[in-house]
């Protein structure tokens, strides 16, 4: 048996090691494959974004190169470019001509804006506030023309953007570098005011090479963040305004979210647009590591299952041997307990037969009225049958004391007023008390009181003391009866009341008449009434039969 167990254990160890090695190799390979596929898809997306941005920057340079307005303050400066703007389909939000104006140009500019039917031709700050003279003296960058022209954009011309916190620095950088410059992310036009960026291209005078103005085009940030819903990754733009936030596309809208940890980041890619670098962070939509772990786990479980089958085949014989040995031992133990059950059953049957024999002998003794004897005999045997039924239902673990007063077992039990704790008495005590209660009740309805009514019966019991010192006291009292009207106790009843029941419970009893009642009292120690030793022995016998 020991050799078989050692051999089975060796097979199990080898199977576990092989399964673990296979699982590890699958995990490594799947991790590499998934990582490679994800990185390739990310590279393709980053290249596509860079291509989009480069295309728009080149178009902006070309537009600025061919843009030659007749005058900087023209409100129709974009007229030559309008057809080209729509043909190129660059998904812009708004294109504008921003002219560099001095205070001497304000009157002409306002007249030009008014003639072009813009809503507010007054030269004003970006927030519609008046321009401070000190600021105007240095020259301001005023939006003079827009495309498209609709209800939203027609209110924009006339604003000076050189003091705008986002567009102002962008225009200053574009003027200093002479190259296209992109702004920080900002809210674009109403009503939805999406997040976007503005690309400004400076326009120079040919004769003096001085700054004439800017062609500025705004784009939604979705230009960088749009992605296929079925792709393996999600993309976010690092917010250049704050290192702790990112910009992501959710439900068609650009939202600002807290930057995720580096542990979630798959990789980052930089794209160039408007003279600055933009960082795109890529995150896996599904945990590739978890997927590889799941595949490895499945492979490991299959290996372990095969190992378990092999071990089971080799262990079948040894298991059967152990099982048969245990069954033999259990059978021997069962037979021993069955013998104890039979002995106990014989003992109980002999006791019951002895009691029944005593009942029959004393009930049918010579000289007894046969009709009365027959009724008493049937009632006493019925009382014994009732208590045996109650004990069988409880598997001989005892019965509730109140259950012995069932009207089906003793005469007129429904007329007895009961009062006392609902204690459980042992099987031996239940048999004695059942006969005792029957004898008391069977004589109580024979006599009539002086007023012609049946006696009123009260039965109560109490338990005093605790532990081994507890005492059971039973009190039976029949009212409306007397020694003259109550039927005398039979010989069997006297022996049962005065000797058999008290001795069976290890107690004492007494009976007497008062002026208005008949009284029977029984006192016994609770240890014999309850008899825990008998219950423990019975429990063992019951378990043996299961």
Task: Say what the pLDDT of residue 387 is.
Answer: 72
Dist. CA 94–CA 280, nearest whole Å: 25
Distance CA 171, CA 180 (A): 10
Q: What is the rounded (10 degree) CA torsion for 492, 498, 503, 508?
A: 160
Q: Is residue 503 part of a domain?
A: yes
Q: Each residue of 334-364: pLDDT tens digit?
A: 777 666 656 656 666 666 666 666 666 656 6
Q: At which of 284, 300, 320 does a domain end?
A: 284
We report the CATH number of the domain holding residue 123 as 3.30.450.350
The model's pLDDT over 415-471, given as tens digits with 9 standing for 90+, comes to 788 899 988 888 888 888 888 888 888 777 554 434 445 668 899 999 998 888 899
Q: For the segment 491-540, what is each residue's pLDDT rounded down to a tens digit?
A: 777 887 888 888 888 899 999 988 888 899 999 998 888 877 766 666 65
Distance (Å, whole) CA 57 – CA 67: 15
What value does the mean pLDDT take over residues 479-502? Answer: 79
pTM score, two decimals? 0.52
Answer yes or no: is 355 within a domain.
Answer: no
CA nearest 520: which of 447, 445, 461, 449?
461
pLDDT at 113: 93
Q: Based on the domain organization, do 117 and 178 belong to the same domain?
A: yes
Looking at the structure, do residues 430 and 300 belong to the same domain, yes or no?
Answer: no
- Domain holding 383: CATH number? 3.30.565.10
Q: Are residues 501 and 386 in the same domain?
A: yes
CB atoms within 10 A of CB 17: 12
Report which secondary-structure segment, H or E, holds 524.
strand 517-525
Contact 197, 186 (CB under 8 A): yes
Q: CA 154 to CA 246: how far, in whole Å?
A: 33
Nearest C-alpha neighbor of 78 from the set 104, 56, 97: 97
Is there a domain that residue 356 lies in? no
* Mean local confidence (pLDDT), 254-278: 89
Q: Do both 276 and 291 map to the same domain? A: no
Residue ending a domain, choose from 196, 220, 244: 220
Q: Which of 262, 284, 306 is the last residue of a domain?
A: 284
Which range, 105-109, 304-308, 373-377, 533-537, has the best average confidence (pLDDT)?
105-109
Residue 116 lies in a domain: yes
Query: Is 240 in a helix, a strand, or coil?
Result: coil
Residues 278-302 have a mean pLDDT of: 81
Contact (CB, 8 A) for 379 and 442: yes
In-domain check, residue 212: yes
Q: What is the pLDDT of residue 350?
A: 63
**Average pLDDT of span 180-199:** 90
Same domain, 506 and 400: yes
Range of the domain at 35: 1-59+287-350
82 shares its domain with 195: yes
Provide φ and ψ at 74, rounded to 5°: -75, 135
- The answer to the question of residue 523 being in a domain is yes
Same structural domain, 278 and 346: no
Residue 475: pLDDT over 90: yes
Instruction: List, for residues 41-100, the tens digit of each pLDDT value.
Output: 999 999 999 998 998 888 888 877 777 776 788 888 888 777 666 665 567 889 999 999
Given a cut of 60, is residue 33 above it in pLDDT? yes
- Across the range 207-232, mean pLDDT stands at 86
Q: Are 527 and 470 in contact (CB under 8 A)?
A: yes
Together in a domain, 420 and 469: yes
Same domain, residue pair 368 and 458: yes
Dihedral sign for Cα 229, 234, 240, 244, please: positive
Indicate whether 540 belongs to any domain.
Answer: yes
| Whether residue 384 sits in one domain with residue 346 | no
Contacts of residue 90, defined as CB under 8 A and 6 or more positions apart, other chains included, come to 55, 56, 59, 217, 219
Q: Could you tell me if 453 and 475 lie in one domain?
A: yes
Number of domains in the chain: 4
- CA-nearest of 222, 253, 258 to 239 is 258
* The predicted structure's pLDDT at residue 397: 72
Element (H, E) at 37: helix 2-66
Q: How far is CA 188 from the centre of its chain?
A: 45
* Whether residue 517 is found in the same domain as residue 441: yes
The per-residue pLDDT for 448 is 45
C-alpha angle 43-48-54 in degrees, rounded to nearest 5: 125
DSSP 241-259: T-TTEEEEEETTEEEEEEP
Any domain includes 41:
yes
What is the average per-residue pLDDT within 129-133?
88
pLDDT at 343: 64
């Amino acid at each position: 048996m020991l050799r078989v167990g050692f051999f089975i254990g060796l097979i199990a160890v080898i199977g576990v090691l092989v399964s673990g090695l296979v699982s590890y190799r699958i995990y490594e390979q799947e991790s590499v494959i998934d990582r490679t596929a994800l990185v390739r898809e990310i590279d393709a997306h980053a290249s596509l974004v860079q291509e989009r941005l480069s295309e728009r920057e080149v178009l902006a340079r070309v537009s600025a190169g061919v843009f030659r307005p007749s005058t900087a303050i023209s409100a129709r400066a974009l007229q030559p470019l309008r057809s080209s703007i729509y043909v190129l389909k660059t998904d812009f939000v708004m294109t504008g001509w921003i002219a560099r104006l001095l205070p001497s140009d304000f009157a002409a500019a306002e007249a030009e804006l008014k003639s072009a039917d813009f809503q507010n031709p007054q030269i004003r700050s970006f927030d519609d506030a008046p321009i401070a003279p000190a600021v105007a003296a240095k020259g301001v960058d005023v939006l003079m023309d827009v495309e498209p022209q609709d209800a939203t954009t027609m209110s924009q011309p006339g604003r000076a953007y050189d003091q705008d916190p986002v567009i102002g620095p962008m225009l200053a950088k574009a003027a200093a570098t002479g190259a296209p410059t992109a702004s920080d992310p900002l809210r674009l036009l109403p009503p939805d005011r999406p997040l976007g960026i503005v690309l400004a291209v400076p326009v120079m005078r040919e004769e003096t090479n001085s700054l004439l103005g800017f062609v500025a085009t705004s784009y939604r940030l979705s230009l960088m963040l749009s992605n296929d819903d079925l792709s393996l990754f999600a993309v976010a733009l690092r917010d250049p305004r704050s290192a702790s936030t990112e910009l992501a596309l959710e439900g068609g809208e650009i939202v600002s979210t807290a930057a995720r940890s580096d542990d979630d980041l798959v990789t980052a890619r930089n794209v160039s647009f408007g003279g600055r670098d933009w960082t795109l962070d890529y995150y896996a939509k599904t945990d590739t590591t978890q997927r590889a772990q799941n595949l490895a786990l499945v492979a490991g479980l299959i290996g372990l299952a095969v190992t378990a089958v092999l071990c089971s085949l080799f262990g079948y014989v040894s298991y059967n041997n152990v099982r048969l040995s245990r069954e033999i031992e259990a059978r021997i133990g069962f037979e021993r307990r069955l013998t104890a059950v039979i002995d106990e059953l014989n003992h109980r049957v002999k006791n019951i037969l002895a009691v029944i024999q005593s009942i029959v002998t004393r009930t049918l003794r010579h000289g007894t009225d046969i009709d009365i004897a027959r009724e008493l005999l049937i009632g006493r045997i019925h009382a014994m049958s009732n208590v045996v039924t109650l004990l069988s239902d409880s598997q001989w673990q005892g019965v509730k004391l109140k259950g012995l007063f069932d009207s089906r077992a003793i005469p007129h039990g429904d007329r007895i007023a009961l009062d006392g704790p609902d204690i459980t008495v042992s099987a031996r005590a239940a048999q004695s008390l059942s006969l005792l209660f029957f004898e008391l009740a069977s004589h109580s309805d024979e006599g009539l009181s002086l007023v012609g009514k049946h006696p009123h019966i009260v039965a109560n019991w109490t338990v005093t003391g605790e532990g081994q010192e507890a005492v059971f006291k039973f009190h039976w009292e029949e009212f409306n009866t007397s020694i003259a009207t109550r039927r005398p106790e039979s010989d069997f009843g006297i022996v049962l009341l005065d000797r058999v029941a008290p001795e069976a419970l290890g107690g004492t009893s007494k009976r007497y008449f008062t002026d208005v009642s008949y009284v029977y009292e029984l006192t016994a120690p609770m240890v014999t009434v309850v008899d825990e030793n008998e219950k423990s022995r019975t429990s063992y016998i019951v378990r043996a039969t299961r």
